[in-house]
Amino acid sequence: MYGGYTYVELKYKPSKDDFIVLLWVKGKNKIEKIAEAVAAESSVGTWTKLSTMNDIVFKNYRARVFKIIKVTKSSGFIYIAYPYEHFDSKNILQFQASVMGNIFGMKEVDELYIMDISFPEKYQKQFKGPKNGIEGIRKYVGTLKSRRPHIGTIVKPKVGLTPKEFANVAYDAWSNGLDLVKDDENLVDQKFCPWKKRFNEVTKKMDKAENETGEKKLYATNITDSSIDRMIERLDYVREHGQRMVMLDVYVMGLAALHEMIKHTRKYNIFVHAHRAGYAAHNRGMFGVNFQVYEKFYRIIGVDQLHIGTGVGKMEGSALYVKRLHDIAIKNKGEEKFYLGSLKFTFAKHIKPLFPVSSGGLDPGMVDALIELFGKDIVIQAGGGVHGHPNGTGAGARALRYAVDCAMKHIPLPKASEKNNDLKLALKKFGYADPKDIKNVLKYEKNNKQKLTREVKIGGLAEYQRIV
C-alpha cells in the first residue's frame, strides 16, 4: 500500500495498448513499497490517502506494477503498465512529465534508472516516423544497389575555422570519396564562422566536389537554436538553395522543439541528421534514462539519421549494447534482452527505419570491426580519424573510402593496405581493430543469453552497467 492504495498487481496481464516501463529501483524500504511509490507518483497517486479519489480514476488510470525481480529486499527491477488513456494525444512532454518526471525526486529512491519503455502501436500511429530514413537517403546518394556503408566526417577543429577554411576542409573530404560532411554539435552561428557565410562557402565547394566525382554529397549543417523562428529561417534558406540535409542537436533542444521542426523538414523533404550531444548526463550513474528510450522517441517522431555510438571507439557503450541500438534503428521487431535492459519492441508498420550513425573516435582501421558489428546499414563517421591522417584530410578520406570499398569485397584491411599507401599510413598511425574480437563478443552473447540474464538478476544495476 502507498498513500492508502495498492499499485502492485502481480496477476495483471498488460493489454496491447498499455505502455510498459522497465525500471531499476533501490531505496531504504522494501522493494514492493518503493515500486508502489513510483507507480503512484507517475500516475494517479500521491503520498497520502485522498478524499478526491474515486473508483473510476483508480480502476482506469492508475499504473500497475505487474512484475518485480528482487535483487535485495530493497532493490530490484520493476515492470509497470500504464493505461493508454492516462496520456495526452501527441503530447510527448506530458508523457515525459508523467513517466520520466517527479519520480526522480522522490525520497523513497536512492537509485532510479529507466531501462526501457515499450510504446503501443496505437500510440505510435499518432506520429509519422522518418520521411526518408535509410532507403530515402540511399536513393539520394546512389547506394541503393551497392548497399555499402555511408562514410562521413566532422570538420575539425570543432570551432574556430573561418567559413572559407571550413569549406576547404569539407571539399578535401568530399572530393576524396566521403559522402557526408557535418558541422560539430557546438558550431552554429558564432562570429568567427557565421552560419549563412559558412553554408554558402561549403555548398559551393560541395557542388564542385559533386561535379568532379559524379557522386551526390550531403552537408549536415547545424541549424540548432533556442529560437524556433531562427531554426525555421535557416531551414528555409537550406531549402531555397536546393540542399537536402540539416543537423539538429536533438537532446538539448528537447522533444517538443524537435517535433515542431520535423513538421517543417517533412514538408520540405529535408533529411534530419540527429546528434545526441548532452544525453550522457541523463544516463551515467545510478539515476537516469537509457538511450534506447530516446531512440524510440526520435524514430517515431521522424529523424532520418541518429548517432548511436560505436562499440569500438572512444564513446561509452559496449559492442552488445550499441548493436542493440542499431537494431532499434533499423528493425521493426526485436526480442527482449533483459541483460541489456531491453524490452521486446515492435514498431508500427508505417514507422520507417532510420539510418544509424556510428561516430566518436573512429578511424579507417576500425571499418572491418564496424561492419562485423553493424552490417552495411551504418554511417561510419570519422573526424580525427580523417583529419589526423599523416598526409592530411584528403589522404584520410581516401583511406576511409578505400577501407569501405575493400570491406565490401571481403578484403581484410591489413591485406588491402599493401596496395594503398593512404590506408597503410592510417593503419600505422591508428592501428587495426580486428573484427574477430567483435565476432567473439557476438558469439558469446548468442551462447550465453540465459547466463547474462541470470547475472543481471543477481547483480542488479551494477552488473547491467558492467555489461553495457
Q: Of the residues 156, 208, 424, 457, which is catalytic?
A: 156
* Strands 19-27 and 109-118, bridge-based pairing: antiparallel
Domains and CATH numbers, the chain: 19-124 (3.30.70.150), 133-437 (3.20.20.110)
| Distance separating alpha carbons of residues 391 and 394, to the nearest angstrom | 8
The rounded average pLDDT for each run of 10 residues, N- to C-terminus, in the chain (468 residues) is 77 96 96 93 72 70 94 98 90 91 90 97 96 98 97 95 98 98 95 97 98 98 97 98 97 96 97 91 86 97 97 79 97 97 97 97 97 98 97 98 98 97 98 96 97 98 94
Q: Of the residues 86, 150, 275, 326, which is catalytic?
A: 275
Q: What is the pLDDT of residue 400?
A: 98
Residue type at position 251: Y
| Distance separating alpha carbons of residues 331 and 453, to the nearest angstrom | 22
Q: What is the pLDDT of residue 47?
A: 58
Is residue 317 within 8 Å of residue 309, measured between CB atoms? yes
Q: 83-126 pLDDT, tens per residue?
A: 998 898 878 999 999 999 989 988 889 999 999 999 999 999 99
| Distance separating alpha carbons of residues 298 and 75, to the nearest angstrom | 31
| Distance separating alpha carbons of residues 457 and 21, to the nearest angstrom | 17
Helices H / strands E in the chain, number of each: 18, 15
> What is the length of the chain?
468
Q: Is 217 a catalytic residue?
A: no
Residues 6+ apart with CB under 8 A from 120: 16, 17, 18, 19, 84
Q: In the structure grid, which three cell numbers stand for residue 335, read together?
A: 526480442
Q: In the structure grid, which three cell numbers stand for residue 439, read together?
A: 565476432
Give strand pairing partners of 302. none
Give strand pairing partners of 72. 75
Q: Is 275 a catalytic residue?
A: yes
| Distance separating alpha carbons of residues 204 and 215, to the nearest angstrom | 15
Is residue 337 within 8 Å of residue 292, measured between CB atoms? no
The structure's pTM equals 0.95
| Distance separating alpha carbons of residues 244 and 268, to the nearest angstrom | 9
Angle of helix 435-447 versus helix 449-467 axis, rounded to 10: 120
